[in-house]
Amino acid sequence: MTAPGRFRFPDGFHWGAATSAQQIEGAVRKDGRGESVWDHFASVPGNIADRSDPSIACDHFHRWRDDLAVMSEIGLTAYRFSIAWPRVMPHGFGSVNPRGLAFYDRLVDGLLAAGITPFVTLNHWDTPQTLQERGGWVSRDTAHAFEEYAVAVAERLGDRVRHWITHNEPWCQSTLGHEQGRHAPGHRDPGEALAVAHHLLLSHGWAARSIRQRSPAAQVGITHILVDVQPASASDADRDAARALDGTFNRWYLDPIFRGAYPQDVIDDRVRCGHLATAELPFLQAGDMATIATPIDFLGVNYYSRSVVRAGDDGRPVGVPMASPEQRTATGWEVWPQGLHDVLTRVAREYAPTALYVTENGAAFDDRVEPSGRVVDERRIEYLRGHLDAAGRAIAAGVPLAGYFVWSLLDNWEWADGYEKRFGIVRVDYPTQRRTLKDSAHWYRTAIAARGLPDDAGAPSRAGRE
């Protein structure tokens, strides 16, 4: 561990928190917003654990000024949020909805007035349902539509927003949404999932070029979820299983961006298991890989946990649970801060991005609400402390890490888990929509003020908070 209180993050380091539109905004039918795939998915019984839907969520659409005040209270210097594509383009292409764009216009102005740097994500999974009905991300047309949408947003906000993230976690949209069926649109077709990943990456390249044309000072990047993959043993079979999982999860998304090619070993695996008929990718067209490899200004990394795997009977990776229940979060994910350090140093070493941001890192826990209203979440403090320490050590090792965003600013609608999993450093009491800074938010405020880890291991003193 870095000696507590000694490491100072660099000047200009962005201290942020992140959210996404679908998870916090609500107001899904307000001011001309169109339906998203997640609105639709949530309306099908059985898809969402608590049978909830995102129609109200944190009501951020109406309460964004309060949320801005909360950000200022914590001392955030940056805020990562996403734009709801169906709010801006109700059908995903064609006409732009000025009332939708106006919402983000106000939000950006409010952030800038508060001295908080906006980091805008264009696609955080809320694809317009109309586009889905025309094939969604399986179709190349959706990649064209995305570029059109990116242009509309950049033309409106590009004079004030400098940091742009095209897509959030293509792995999730592809694999969870189209191979495992756990996320919208709920399909289970590995071949489809590969086409989806390709069209996401391709549209990233197109959008990056178009955003820069409209906003020459723009810094454009993409956010990938990366997992620290480790073999359960030193056996050849287990190491090969780790190679395979690292391939589908991490390298399938990093190699095209930084090297302009999909990893051949993963293509070979996919042919062997029948996900691809031949090693020729059916959706690939001339010039695509060069577009995808359009240089980016930064890579966003979302990191939550590691994955230890062994070879199953068919040689394919099988997860090996390593942690006791006490070492897991409420979503069952192992708390493994070292993985953040290892993922960041690995990416810096193997892919040499100009800059990196941790665009998401955080944990869901069953928080304790005291009769006084105080929200005691020492396990989240411990999680954040461990991961910030790991991020600091990565910087000390030479990684060009320029910012860190806690997932999440607010408790919110956690996709198929509904409202049951709370990731916020700010509690949302859904019936009243009351916001309460959890102990972790107070701790984070102390860390931001100190530009490093507070010396005490637990919650900071409550003096002067109320």
CB 443 within 8 A of CB 384: yes
**Closest CB 224 distance from ligand FCB, rounded Å:** 10
Please tell me which residue in 147, 179, 360, 414 is annotated as part of the active site: 360
Rounded CA gap, 407 and 19, in Å?
Answer: 7
* Angle at CA of residue 171, ends 289 and 302, nearest 5°: 105
| Identity of the residue numbered 331 | T
Q: Would you mind telling me the total number of residues written for the chain in this entry?
A: 466
**Closest CB 268 distance from ligand FCB, rounded Å:** 28
**Closest CB 165 distance from ligand FCB, rounded Å:** 11
CB atoms within 10 A of CB 198: 27
Rounded CA gap, 218 and 110, in Å?
Answer: 19
Q: Cα dist. 123→81, 88, 107, 164 in Å?
A: 10, 12, 17, 11
**Closest CB 18 distance from ligand FCB, rounded Å:** 8
For ligand FCB, the closer CB: 23 or 440 = 23
| Identity of the residue numbered 433 | Q
Which string of b and e fits 149-160 if b means at least 16 CB within 10 Å? Answer: bbbbbbebbbee
* β-sheet with 317-319: strand ranges across: 228-231, 306-311, 317-319
For ligand FCB, the closer CB: 172 or 399 = 172
For ligand FCB, the closer CB: 179 or 414 = 414
For ligand FCB, the closer CB: 182 or 239 = 182
CA dihedral in degrees (248, 249, 253, 256; nearest 10)?
Answer: -30
For ligand FCB, the closer CB: 21 or 138 = 21
CA dihedral in degrees (359, 352, 333, 378; nearest 10)?
Answer: -60
CB 39 within 8 A of CB 28: yes
How far is CA 444 from its chain centroid?
20
**Closest CB 407 distance from ligand FCB, rounded Å:** 5
For ligand FCB, the closer CB: 291 or 412 = 412
**Closest CB 223 distance from ligand FCB, rounded Å:** 8
CB 142 within 8 A of CB 204: no
For ligand FCB, the closer CB: 178 or 243 = 178
**Closest CB 248 distance from ligand FCB, rounded Å:** 16
For ligand FCB, the closer CB: 383 or 423 = 423
Burial zone of 86 (CB within 10 Å; 0-12 exposed, 13-18 middle, 19+ buried): buried
Q: Which of 229, 277, 284, 224 is nearest to 260 (CA)?
A: 284
Q: Is 326 a catalytic residue?
A: no
**Closest CB 466 distance from ligand FCB, rounded Å:** 30
For ligand FCB, the closer CB: 149 or 407 = 407
**Closest CB 298 distance from ligand FCB, rounded Å:** 17
How far is CA 300 from its chain centroid?
8
Please tell me which residue in 169, 179, 382, 414 is annotated as part of the active site: 169
Rounded CA gap, 79 and 425, in Å?
Answer: 14
Q: Is 360 a catalytic residue?
A: yes
Binding residues for ligand FCB, rule: CB under 6 A, are 20, 23, 168-169, 172, 225, 302, 360, 407, 414-415, 423
CB 252 within 8 A of CB 266: yes
Rounded CA gap, 379 and 112, in Å?
Answer: 32
What residues act catalytically? 169, 360
